[in-house]
Amino acid sequence: GAVVSQHPSWVICKSGTSVKIECRSLDFQATTMFWYRQFPKQSLMLMATSNEGSKATYEQGVEKDKFLINHASLTLSTLTVTSAHPEDSSFYICSALQRFSYEQYFGPGTRLTVT
Amino acid sequence: AQSVTQLDSQVPVFEEAPVELRCNYSSSVSVYLFWYVQYPNQGLQLLLKYLSGSTLVKGINGFEAEFNKSQTSFHLRKPSVHISDTAEYFCAVSSTGNTGKLIFGQGTTLQVKP
* Chain B contact present for A108, CB below 8 A: yes
Q: How far is B98 from chain A (nearest CA, A)?
A: 10
Q: Give the nearest chain A residue to B49 (CA atoms).
A: A103
CB within 8 Å of A18: residues ≥ 6 apart: A80, A81, A82, A83, A84
CA-based nearest residue to B93, from B38, B37, B22, B27: B27
For residue B51, the chain A residues in CB contact (below 8 A) are: 102
- How far off is chain A from B70, nearest CA to CA, in Å? 23
Please check the confidence at residue B56 and state whether its pLDDT lies above 90: yes
- Give the whole-angstrom CA distance, residue B6 versus residue B85: 18
Q: How far apart are CA A50 and CA B77, in angstroms?
A: 34
* Residue A90 distance to chain B (closest CA, Å): 11
* Nearest-angstrom CA–CA distance, B57 and B53: 9
pLDDT classification of A31: cutoffs 50, 70, 90: confident
Q: State whether residue B85 is helix, strand or coil.
A: helix
**Residue B61, SS3 per DSSP:** helix
**C-alpha to C-alpha distance for B4 and A61, rounded to whole angstroms:** 20
pLDDT value of residue A102: 72
B88 confidence band (pLDDT: 50, 70, 90): very high
Q: Which is nearest to B20 in space by CA: B35, B3, B42, B31? A: B35
Chain B contact present for A44, CB below 8 A: yes
Per-residue pLDDT band for B13 (boundaries 50, 70, 90) equals very high
